[in-house]
Structure 1
Amino acid sequence: MARNVILMIAASCILLSGCAGIKNIQDLTYIVSIGMDYDEEKDEYTVYLQGLNFLNVAKQEGGKTAEPVPIFVASAKGETLNLAVRKLYKLSEPPLFFGHVKTLVISKRIVQHKFKEVVEEVGRNRSIRPTLHIVTTDESIEEVFNINALFNYPAIYTVLFKKDFYEVAQNEIRPVPLMKFLREYYEPMNAAKLPSVKINKSGWKAEKDYPVLYFDGYTVFQNKKYIKELAFEDSLFLNWIMENYIALDERVEEDGKLAAAVKLESPELKFKYEENAPSPKFSIVLSIRADLLERVEDISPDRLRSLVEEKIKTKLRSLYLDGVERKIDYLNAGEKWFRMRPEKFAELKKHGNFYLDENSLTDIQVNVQILNFNSYKFNE
């Protein structure tokens, strides 16, 4: 009996010893963002790591405002991402931990010169989760990483760390997960978009200018190639149409004068393709719900609805024509077409030309339903 008890205790000790290598959570340096820049002359990458501890993670509670907790940013140069990061391991105690990386920030120099190599390397790296968000910037990455949220909230409350599109309410560009971007990036007839992050130093003040981060537009790719930077207003409009998770505040003009402001929600975009066309040829039907926010001029509901429909139709056609000129399928009309017609897509692919032209979009119908007039009175 005694012998059996001794054996049981010995076995328990062996099992417990298996946890001896596990580190306490405070004994690691948690990397939450990785930034990458590129020097074309030296053919060399610069990698930035943003590290936080638990004081950085928690919002400040209580009546007193705590002193801001510093953000730690490391950098190193190397021929590849892994070789650059390797140099930082010997300089980092507590040791680095990459299991909680949330955001990858890529410079515009990488976008223009080394994007394909970088995105492929990141995509196959097992240390990086496919759910992390990816953004571009032409700002100093070190400066981007050293910016806190408003009221000295930690950096993880900035736009770099929005968890998903459900945190975006209105008039904002949504974040893009790496997995979603790669799926669009490798599509043969599709535009892929990454938000571009900027620093604003004049919008907020706290005795002096208080810099904040925001998304300023899209970096656009087509057929695995970088094409252009899309301005914020066009990016927001495209985001609103394609994602359907945000609301859009829009000014309405009549004869060049501001007549009203409306809130646009729940867009439903439908394509109608011509069956026997050798390349995508289609019309668009866009249905929208709207609320009247402000009425500046005396305008009837029918006239207001007509002005909103005409403005959205004009913006949609303008964006489409810009895409045709630059060989970008902003609306992803080609993807929906070729999935239903693989044999025509194979034939079209042989010629190698862009599959849309000015006549590919045959008609645009916009239907606006105004649900709330915000207590404004209208004459019969």
Structure 2
Amino acid sequence: MRRVLMLVGILSFLLTGCWDNKEVQDINYITALGVDYKDGNYIIYVQMLDFATIAKQESGKQTEKAPIWVGRGTGTTLAGALVDLYTSSQQRVSWGHVTALVLTEAVLKPDQMSQVFDLTNRSQEIRYTKWVYGTQDSMEDLFTVSPFFQLSPLHSLLHEPKESYDQFSFIRPIQFVNFIRLYRERAATVVLPSIHISSQNWSENLKQHPILEVSGAFMIKNQKLMGWLSRSDLLGTRWLASPHTHASIIVQEEGEAIGSISLEKPQSSIEIIREPDDVAYRIKLNVTGTVQNMYKKVGVSEMKRLTEATLKKEMHTTFHKAALLKADPYELCLQLYRTDPKLWKKLVEQKKEIHDASLRELEVDVNLRFWGQRKNLNR
């Protein structure tokens, strides 16, 4: 018995302890990071959430909103702004849960962006998979917007943009790893979604409820900010962005609505047309469409033609709006750069890499399907 007690005593000293472990409530968890630049100073904003409260929300229906804390630090450098933030921190700060990075328009310049990359890339806690946005709104207001039904702010567009995009595609969300890749690619144009607070669409108990939405995007080319385009100007980008694009369009003829078509599974290709002193491009797009509603009786072939015409109009509008900014959201120049870098360099020197006539041809083919609508249509 004595030997057993001695063995238990020895083993107890060999067991590793957890004396230095921190409880959830003892750590400040940063979930979103914002950067602004004003009057020669960098301003860092952080969004903090109480994970203990969020855990309670997941276990049952809540009647109160989860508290959102917003921190602010200022300095002549981003490192200095971070130090200013740390001086007032009451507990240990964890950066391992940052899922969103928001940059103001003033930060989207080479000198300021180099500090953003240096700050985020050197941190071993901040992940490369966070979502990146630009904004023209107040950062403090953005970080305090809450989603529907008292849900955690982690369920908002700021932290989970992919769910909304997969259901109805507008401007494709971008993760930090892809943002850096395109930002440093000489021939690429970054389409950086701009996030905005809207109070027009939703209300709670007859009171307007502010909610986040993607209002447009900043065009960044060769590390330079080329300008900003609204969401309606960029509708054409979704058909080339991903084969998982899913969206509905209203087909019109001479301003009259003909029907509503759901489009999905776009497949596209870009062909380079070489000319003696210039280069043009041909885009081919194939997409599957399903009739949702019919507002006017037309034949199948006519509906197909009108749908293709609507898509062409969207894509032409986006291209011409971007070309005015010397931006290239369709990545036409990137295709040329990868196949013929010498020719691309020559056109850049002549300032002819992208212009209003670069998109020579646009071929669109819609495989139109009808669910329960055939009896109302004439072939």
Q: Give me the TM-score of the superposition, normalised by structure 1.
A: 0.88
Residue 83 of structure 1, aligned match among 80, 85, 90: 80
Give the aligned partner of residue 143 of structure 2: 145
**Deviations, residues 86-145 of structure 1 (Å, cap 9, x unaligned):** 223242233111111111111222236854334432453324211111111111111111
Query: Please, which runs of 5 or more residues in structure 2 have no aligned partner?
Result: none
Give the aligned partner of residue 13 of structure 1: 13
**Contact 2:219–2:228 (CA<8 Å) still a contact in 1?**
yes
**Contact 1:221–1:228 (CA<8 Å) still a contact in 2?**
yes
Cα distance in 2 for partners of 1:358, 1:193 equals: 19
**Contact 1:334–1:355 (CA<8 Å) still a contact in 2?**
yes
**Contact 1:122–1:128 (CA<8 Å) still a contact in 2?**
no
Cα distance in 1 for partners of 2:313, 2:259 equals: 18
Q: Which moved more, 1:367-376 or 1:158-167?
A: 158-167
Cα distance in 1 for partners of 2:357, 2:58 equals: 59
Q: Specify the code of the residue in structure 2 equivalent to 1:155.
A: P
How many residues get paired?
375
**Deviations, residues 56-81 of structure 1 (Å, cap 9, x unaligned):** 43473688643223111111211222
Cα distance in 2 for partners of 1:312, 1:139 equals: 31
**Deviations, residues 8-29 of structure 1 (Å, cap 9, x unaligned):** 9668736625x54332333211
Give the aligned partner of residue 42 of structure 2: 45
Give the aligned partner of residue 162 of structure 1: 160
**Contact 1:279–1:344 (CA<8 Å) still a contact in 2?**
no
| Shift, 1:165, TM fit | 6.3
Q: Specify the code of the residue in structure 2 equivalent to 1:296.
A: Y
**Deviations, residues 140-169 of structure 1 (Å, cap 9, x unaligned):** 111111111111111111100116468631
RMSD in angstroms over aligned alpha carbons? 2.8
**Deviations, residues 287-327 of structure 1 (Å, cap 9, x unaligned):** 11111111111111111111111222222223222333221
Cα distance in 2 for partners of 1:92, 1:128 equals: 18
Cα distance in 2 for partners of 1:364, 1:167 equals: 25
Give the aligned partner of residue 121 of structure 1: 118
Cα distance in 1 for partners of 2:178, 2:118 equals: 16
Query: Please, which runs of 5 or more residues in structure 1 have no aligned partner?
Result: none
Q: Specify the code of the residue in structure 1 equivalent to 2:93.
A: L
Task: Give aligned-pair identity as a percent.
Answer: 25
Label 1:242 to 1:163 Cα distance change in 2 as closer, same or farther (>3 A).
Answer: closer
Q: Specify the code of the residue in structure 1 equivalent to 2:137.
A: E
Q: Specify the code of the residue in structure 2 equivalent to 1:105.
A: V
Q: Specify the code of the residue in structure 1 equivalent to 2:299.
A: S
**Deviations, residues 177-215 of structure 1 (Å, cap 9, x unaligned):** 111011111111111011111111131111211111111
Q: Specify the code of the residue in structure 1 equivalent to 2:101.
A: L
Label 1:61 to 1:226 Cα distance change in 2 as closer, same or farther (>3 A).
Answer: closer
Give the aligned partner of residue 268 of structure 2: 269
**Deviations, residues 331-352 of structure 1 (Å, cap 9, x unaligned):** 1011122212234345445x26
Label 1:226 to 1:315 Cα distance change in 2 as closer, same or farther (>3 A).
Answer: same
Label 1:329 to 1:87 Cα distance change in 2 as closer, same or farther (>3 A).
Answer: same
Cα distance in 2 for partners of 1:144, 1:288 equals: 36
In the TM superposition, 1:193-204 aligns within 5 A as 193-204=191-202
| Shift, 1:248, TM fit | 1.6
Give the aligned partner of residue 104 of structure 1: 101
Q: Specify the code of the residue in structure 1 equivalent to 2:304.
A: R
Q: Give me the TM-score of the superposition, normalised by structure 2.
A: 0.89
**Contact 1:260–1:297 (CA<8 Å) still a contact in 2?**
yes
Cα distance in 2 for partners of 1:195, 1:281 equals: 27
Cα distance in 1 for partners of 2:94, 2:29 equals: 5
Q: Specify the code of the residue in structure 2 equivalent to 1:36.
A: V
Q: Specify the code of the residue in structure 2 equivalent to 1:190.
A: A
